[in-house]
Structure 1
Amino acid sequence: MLEGRKNARRLEFIEFQLTWRGRVGRADLQDQFSISPQQATNDLSEYSELAPRNLRYDPRQRTYVRDERFRPRLTRGSPLDYLTQLELCAADYRNRSEIWPDPVPQFETMTTTTRPVARETLQLMLSAIETGGILEMQYVSLSSDDEEVRRIAPHALANDGHRWHARAYDLDKERHSDFVLSRLDAVAVSEGGGEAVPDDKAWNTLVTVKLQPEDGLGDRQRERLEIEYGMDDGRMDLTVRKAMLYYYLRHYGFDPRPVRGKTMRNVSSFRLAIANIQEVEKNLERRS
């Protein structure tokens, strides 16, 4: 609906304000986009034509307010749309005058204190991914004191909810692995020297984790948990890359380490359980 419209962002802004603030006026558009009063009026009129049931003019407030029949037309209307704006502000990617919530509520976000990723390292990493080159690097591993220059063929970036990793083929160990970007000091990118880089089957394979409320919950607790996770008939199917399975399990409160013999405990801090635990355990493929 917005394809090709030069004022697409301003129309989305109007709907954002109606969704989360309940009203929007000409001055809001002028302040946010530094446009003329006439342009702001035109934008409001255009939105009213696109979604006539979403707003009505309130002469008492002298502004447009959300109509009772409101339904998002140009945006998802998801709470993530709002909360992501706060996260951008918290991470200093936007200042308070640049984000759309108005007024901005008091908020706080968790931050992870880690060694920053060097700009040169990320630049070389992106170059290697784009060209299919070999990245020479020094890597500080927690499982080894070895800090010699290593050679990897990266092909993707991944975030585990805590840190960014490079997904790459380790030419020395002859296997695909994850490398924490903040522990990596890139040295140079070179063209492949004829080394065969196999497909990353774990990255390209999808695995389904079937989550459900843990046993022993009361009916009310189970119902609330199903609502919280948007479960369908008491089940939520989570489809993830096999290479990311370990991280997703941790994200949902499980401990994927083999803490009972060689099998992970089917216990989550979020009161969840895995219905297909044997399949999930098989796909973890832990390394010693």
Structure 2
Amino acid sequence: MSMPRTKSLQDDRFRLIWAFLLWEGHVGNARLRQVLDLETVQVSRLLTAFNDAYPGVTSADRATKRYVYTGREAPKDVALPSLEEYLAIIDRADAAGPWLNTQISFAPRPDPWMFASVQAACSARSGLKITYASLNSPDGSERTIYPHAIASMGSRWIIRAWCGQKGRHVDFLLDRVLSLSPVAGPDKVLPADDLWSQTVDLRLRAHDAHQENFAKLVQRHYFNGLKTARRTLRKALVPYYLQEMRIAVDPEKELPPAFQLQLINPDAVRGLLFPALSSR
């Protein structure tokens, strides 16, 4: 009976390795020890066993002491871990990189290679040359960006990065990145991204236009029955949160049923809204 359990345990650990390779683009001894209660020697043996079982899947990067995913397809009997499984793994072990924000997520599954490339750039503080589709350039235009964070907000994955063309920190939607390739890091120290490092407290309540009985229903649904709630967000993510949650900033113009909630402290978000909203 011990052999099946050992085999199952090894399969589970191999699955962890697959998760890191697929969604981070590489795996190393130190990274695995963040999620496994194993010693360095044990993890080294595990990585050796994985590479023996799946030859050609990784290549050794001696400079960083990591194994890099080559992109080789997994065998047909290997069900690759989903993004949700990867996020659950790092969440349980409190092992998410400081650049990864998954505060709110029902975003579509991103391309694993692109997701891993952005994470790698954040971790290494390097850059990416991307072709990016925007409203002004729907067919895509080339940008050189230096990402430092990737965040899930509602239906979107957002890359927070310094844009070489605009000369400031801006947001890029991951699903609009048509292609990317790694480039070296910036040749100078970039300014701090205050909108990412600073937070703001949003105070919320049911929309004033609701009748009392419906307001109580909204309170139970969103606030566990409380009359108000407080949410602390990075300033850069505020407009996405307000849009996804349909929170009225101007309750006289933004009415139910499109808006069920309203912001009690709209002054706190002045200058943080999307252009179409901040012009009011």
Q: TM-score range by the shorter chain?
A: 0.5 to 0.7
Following superposition, the deviation at residue 127 of structure 1 comes to 1.7
Identity, % of aligned positions: 26
Distance 2:263 2:196 in 1: 22
1:155/1:265 Cα in 2 relative to 1: closer, same or farther (>3 Å)?
farther
Is 1:251 the counterpart of 2:240? The answer is: no
Say which structure, 1 or 2, has more relative contact order (CA 8 Å, 6+ apart).
Answer: 2
Q: Match of 1:221?
A: 214
RMSD of equivalent CA atoms: 3.5
The number of residues matched between the two structures is: 177
TM-score by length of 1: 0.52
Q: Match of 1:191?
A: 184
Q: Name the structure with the higher strand share.
A: 2
The answer to whether the 8 A contact 2:127-2:147 is kept is yes
TM-score by length of 2: 0.53
Q: Match of 1:271?
A: 260
Q: Match of 1:163?
A: 156
Distance 1:147 1:199 in 2: 27
Distance 1:182 1:285 in 2: 19
Distance 1:117 1:182 in 2: 7
The answer to whether the 8 A contact 2:119-2:150 is kept is no
Is 1:172 the counterpart of 2:161? The answer is: no
- Structure 2 gap ranges (5+): 1-81, 86-105
1:212/1:117 Cα in 2 relative to 1: closer, same or farther (>3 Å)?
closer
Distance 2:175 2:190 in 1: 24
Distance 2:252 2:120 in 1: 38
The answer to whether the 8 A contact 2:118-2:150 is kept is no
Q: Match of 1:87?
A: none
Distance 2:84 2:197 in 1: 34
Deviations 1:253-283 (A, max 9, x none): 1477xxx8xx994545242221112322343
Q: Match of 2:175?
A: 182
Distance 2:166 2:130 in 1: 14
Distance 2:192 2:215 in 1: 42
SS at match of 1:229: helix
- Structure 1 gap ranges (5+): 1-89, 94-110
